[in-house]
Chain A
Amino acid sequence: MTKGLLTTAVGSYPKPDYLTQARNRLARREIGQEELRELERKATEEWVRFQEEIGMDILVDGEMYRGDMVTYFSENMEGWAISGLVRSYGNRYYRKPVATGPVRRKGPITLEWWRYTQGLTKKPVKGMLTGPYTMADWSFNEHYPTREAFVLDLARAVHEEALDLEKAGARYIQIDEPAVSTRPEEMELAVKALGIVTKGLSAYTITHICYGDFAAVFDGLLRLPVDNLDLEMTNSNYNLLGLFRERKGKLKKDLSMGVLDVHSHLIETVDQVKKGIRLGLEVFAPERLYIDPDCGLKTREVEEAKAKLRVMATAVREVKQELGIE
């Protein structure tokens, strides 16, 4: 593997049309679970081949088999029900998980998919988990008397899952916590919960956070017990780097820097991305700077996502050549 500026992805990729259609057909009971599973495997393999082709360093399975990042876990655990429809925005509605009893793992949740994906490639595949704070914050709670009790029970369940992934050989484990930036007043709880998740892990741990007013929670983010913080950067025009620059020399964590806007149809140019990477290099040494998209790419078209990822790969390769770190 190369030294520095490792490339990866935040987690989700768009589902190919045949898979979206198959999911709808399953919902209408026109096909069975096994037929869908076969297509999910096919789509996963296609994304693995694509990531290898562009020379990505740390791969993801693309989450072809997941719908919502919280619901996927709740559906595969004990203690959960699913709500009636609630509105997300505009004309978009979804069903929200409801904790109706103690939330526990029935068994491994993501392990089988991780093993399958790792079996397809020699490159490391990241274990991808939704963090306990986000799971609790984005669910209804009809069981626990306090948010803290809910979050901490979830932390223990996610910890078990992380241990299973590590035992199976995962060298990178990412625990997504997008919700932590929206409630600065609960940052301590998020830190404590993530501490339970990552306790005793020897794998390299990453947490992805988005959406929030980062300045208000930045000190808290730096205390999250993981090796690497994964933040969106293009969204803020790389202004977020300023927060790191102020603490240059004192930073203990590595950074995964988002260089692709996942909300835009526009494909970034290689020069735009290279400029972003160079800004990151002003604060972080290359071996501590990872490069990825701002967030999951699942809302883009397959071809848009691929075009963006190709630009990212080219930009990283060129910067590395210029720095002589190939």
Chain B
Amino acid sequence: MILPYALCSVNFRLLLPVPLGAATMDATLRKGFLLLTATVVGSYPKLPAQAGAPNLRTALARLERGQITAEEFQRTEDLVTEVVIKEQVQAGVGLISDGQIRWEDGQTYFARRIGGFSINGLIRYFNNNTYFRQPAVTGKLGWQGPIGVRDFLFAKERSPVPVKAVITGPYTLARLSQDQAYHNLRTLVLDLAEVLNQEAIALQRSGATFIQFDEPAILKWKGDFALFEEACRRLTRGLTAKTALYLYFWDIGELYPDLFHLPFQAYGLDFVSGEANYQIVKEFPSDKELGLGILDGRNTRLEPVEELVEGVRRMSSVVSLDRMYVSPSCGLEFLPRDRANQKLVRLVEGVKKAREALS
């Protein structure tokens, strides 16, 4: 493992392979042997809780003022990503993300590297008090080369546990964009599905064994499910890696049970903002896996361990523990860093307790 920035304060010992190495874990995951895997949905707070740690806010301000180069800025992104990987591993998360430290937001990260997009002004991100720059579709969309491969490999090389690759799905990306070229949601979504399929294939070639597609928008516009289904088939074509569909901010409502017949092996649902999912998901296909988003990713309240165990218990009659993931309800970037970290620690405590209590 090459660790060029080993002089900084990151404790790299924690990043070295642990006895249960990455390859073994990957194989284990794919066979679904583990009882209850603790995972994350994706994003993580970019700023450190303490002064003195690598700080992206300062670095970005300096980049914008021309005081540092793009390479120096990327070095800060790398350092922060290493810290974020370490925090997840140290907490005991079994399947991590790279924290999406380099993502301006879930849309821009992809749109700025896909041909046919430009980036517009700020708009509100669903029902959150956060904003993103709205992509504008200005021409025929085309994949121009890998978007997240370098970042995936960076994380994979530094993590002793498997890293999920995350892609914002075609429906959500299309819905959150301003269409100035297609004037047709269906062709726009389907073209984006082709583009993002190429991205997923590239990630798979680079070694991704778990590829997650985030599609919160389909929960807001459930009437588009037929189109969504068509897009998902194109999106997952040729993929042999494990694929997951993550849906958050709402419950799945009337998408049950058709949702679970889409071509994904795993589904991640929000059981906090979508608490009704506990009642809605009465049955679940026995060959698929379910991710329970039971820690509130949008509120600082730290859930008691018993509450997490209870969440797992409620769904354990529907899905066996070897096919269950437990995670926050959505990305953790809505929280301050120290609380996000505490949530991860609590998540793992909950998973351990649930394993003891229920297996």
Contact = CB atoms under 8 A, between A and B. Distances in A.
Contacts of B299: 140-142
A179 interface: yes
A141 B301 contact: yes
A91 B62 CA distance: 11
Nearest to A264: B121
A87 B46 contact: yes
Contacts of A263: 121
Interface string A168-189: 0000000000010011000000
Given A83-B300, A89-B105, A140-B300, A183 B338 contact: no
Interface string B59-86: 0110010000000000000000000000
Nearest to A185: B250
B314 interface: no
Interface in A252-289: 263
B104 A90 contact: yes
A84 B333 contact: no
A142 B300 contact: yes
A87 B333 contact: yes
Contacts of A86: 45, 333-336
A138 B131 contact: no
B282 interface: no
Contacts of A85: 45, 47, 336-337
Sorting the interface of chain A by its residue count into under 10, 10 to 19, 20 to 34 or 35 or more gives 20 to 34
A282 B301 CA distance: 49
Size category of the binding interface on chain B: 20 to 34
A52 interface: no
B130 interface: yes
B132 interface: yes
Contacts, number: 59
A83 B105 contact: no
B261 interface: no
A179 B129 contact: yes
Interface string B39-58: 00000011101000000010
Contacts of B49: 84
B286 interface: no
B124 interface: yes
A182 B124 contact: yes
Given A85-B45, A141-B301, 5 more contacts: A84-B336, A87-B45, A88-B129, A89-B122, A91-B61
Which 4 pairs from chain A and chain B are nearest by CB? A84-B336, A89-B131, A140-B300, A182-B127
27 contacts: A83-B336, A84-B49, A84-B339, A85-B337, A86-B45, A86-B335, A87-B47, A87-B130, A87-B333, A88-B129, A88-B130, A88-B131, A89-B105, A89-B122, A89-B130, A89-B133, A91-B57, A91-B60, A91-B64, A93-B47, A98-B300, A140-B300, A142-B299, A142-B301, A142-B302, A179-B129, A183-B127
Interface of A: 83-91, 93, 98, 137-138, 140-142, 179, 182-183, 211, 263
Interface of B: 45-47, 49, 57, 60-61, 64, 104-105, 121-122, 124, 126-127, 129-133, 299-302, 333-339
